Amino acid sequence: MPSVLHVAERDSPTFEARRITVDVVCAGDSITGWNNFGAVGDWPYRTYPEFLQKLCEPVGLAIANGGIAGEVSGNGLGQVRDYLGLFPNAGCFVIGYGTNDLGMWPDVERTSPRIIENLGGMVRAVRDGGRQPVLLTVPYANESMFPQPLADDLHRMRDSHNEKLAAYCRDAQVPLVDIASKLRDEHFADELHPKEDGAQVIAQEVFRVLSRMQTMKPAR
C-alpha cells in the first residue's frame, strides 16, 4: 500500500496517477495537515492521516490528506468541493474544522453556530456527491501551556462547541469522532498541535468510527 497522498503534491504526475485510487479524504485545518506549508518533509508535525493510512492498509484503503494550516470553517466548503472533484472515487470525507474559528472569534455562543452551519454545508456537499461525511470534534488545547484561568476558559469553550456539534450530528445522522476526550496535554507538541503520539490517537479514533461504516469498503 502506498503512503498517504498529500494535496501539497497535486501538481505531480504521481498525484495525478493516484488520486483516482483514494477511498478516504481527510479535510480540515493543521490538525489534519499542512498542505499550504510547503513540501511534506518540511511540515513541523506529523498528522493523523499518515497514521490512518497505516491502520487502513489491511483493508486496502487509500487515504488523502487535504488539511490546510490556519484554515477556518468558512473556507471549508470550497475545499471540500475541490476535493470532491479531485478524488472522484473517494467514498468517505473526514472533516475537522473549528480550532482556528474559536481562536479568532472566542465568543463561543456566536462562533459555534457559525462553525456548525459551515460544517453543515460541507456535509450536504459530500452527501450530494454520493459520499459519506464524518466530522471531528475540536480538540482541547494543551492547557499546561496557559495560565489556569485561560486554560479553564479554553476548556469550557470547546466543551460548549462540541456539545452543540454532537447534537447536530445526532440530528443529521452524521458520524462524529470524539478526539477531544482522547487527547491529553502530553499528546501535544505546542499549544494546539498534536505531536506524533497525539496524531496516532486521532488516527485510531477515526479508524474506530470508519470501521463501523460500510464506506470502509473500497469505493472503486
Residue 131: CATH number of its domain = 3.40.50.1110
Which pLDDT value is given to residue 38?
A: 86
Identify the band that residue 214 occupies on the pLDDT scale cut at 50, 70 and 90: low
Among 211, 213, 188, smallest CA distance to 198 is for: 188
In a domain, 30, yes or no: yes
**pLDDT tens digits along 31-79:** 999 999 988 989 999 999 999 999 999 999 999 999 999 999 999 999 9
| Residues 8-21 pLDDT 10s | 999 999 999 999 99
Residue 219 banded pLDDT, cuts 50, 70, 90: very low
pLDDT of residue 99: 97
Q: Is the pLDDT of residue 218 over 50?
A: no
Residue 204 lies in a domain: yes
Asked if residue 73 lies in contact with residue 57, where contact means CB atoms within 8 angstroms, the answer is no
Whether 179 is covered by a domain: the verdict is yes
Q: Flag whether 219 is in a domain.
A: no
Task: Measure the CA–CA gap between 104 and 107, rounded to whole angstroms.
Answer: 9
Indicate the number of domains in the chain: 1
| Helices within 87-145 (DSSP H only) | 99-104, 108-128
Q: At what angle do helices 196-210 and 48-56 cross, to 10 degrees?
A: 50
Task: Answer whether residue 91 is part of any domain.
Answer: yes
Q: Is the pLDDT of residue 187 over 70?
A: yes
* pLDDT over threshold 80, residue 137: yes
Range of the domain at 64: 5-213
Q: What is the pLDDT of residues 82-120, one digit of tens each?
A: 999 999 999 999 999 999 999 999 999 999 999 999 999
Q: What is the pTM of this model?
A: 0.95
Q: What is the pLDDT of residue 1?
A: 52
The whole-angstrom separation of Cα 163 and Cα 176 is 11
pLDDT in tens, 201-210: 999 999 999 9
C-alpha cell at 18: 493516484
Nearest C-alpha neighbor of 133 from the set 81, 197, 201: 81
Q: What is the pLDDT of residue 213?
A: 84
Q: In this model, does residue 129 exceed pLDDT 80?
A: yes
- Domain assignment present for residue 220? The answer is no
pLDDT over threshold 90, residue 215 = no
Spatial strand order of the sheet with 24-28 comes to 5-6, 63-67, 24-28, 92-96, 132-136, 176-177
What is the reported pLDDT for 17?
A: 95
